[in-house]
Amino acid sequence: MRTISWEINDRDSWDSVTDTQFAYDREPDNTELILPHWFLVFMFAAIAVAPWIRWSNRFSLRTLLIATTLIAVALGIMAMSN
C-alpha cells in the first residue's frame, strides 16, 4: 500500500527551477511536483468563481454524456501510459 505524504522544502535539488516554472520529478519511491504560487491562486479563484457563472442551456444530455466519455477515455489513456 502506498502512502502519500506532503512536504514543503527549500528545493535543494531544484536549484535550476525558478519560482515561475513548473517541475515534475518521479523516482521509484518519491514523486516531486513544483507549482508556482500564481498557478495555485488562479486555480482556487477559478473554482471559487465557477458557481456564479451562468452556464448555457444549449447542451443536451447526449452532449454531456459524449463529453464525459471522451474525458474518461483520455484519463484512461493517461493512466495506462504511467
- Domain tally for the chain? 1
Rounded Cα distance, 28 and 76, in Å = 22
Whether residue 38 lies inside any domain: the answer is yes
pLDDT by 10s per residue, the chain, length 82: 555 665 555 555 555 556 666 777 777 777 777 777 888 889 999 999 988 887 767 778 898 899 999 999 999 888 887 5
In a domain, 47, yes or no: yes
CB contact at 8 A, 23 and 34: yes
Domain that holds residue 24: 12-81
- The residues near 37 (Cβ < 8 Å, ≥ 6 apart) are 19
pTM over 0.85: no
Residue 3 domain-assigned (yes or no):
no
Extract the C-alpha cell encoding 47: 473554482
Domain membership of residue 5 (yes or no) is: no
pLDDT at residue number 33: 75
Residue with cell 535539488: 13
Residue 4 domain-assigned (yes or no): no
Q: Is residue 6, in this structure, part of any structural domain at all?
A: no
25's CB contacts (< 8 A; 6+ apart) are 13, 31, 32
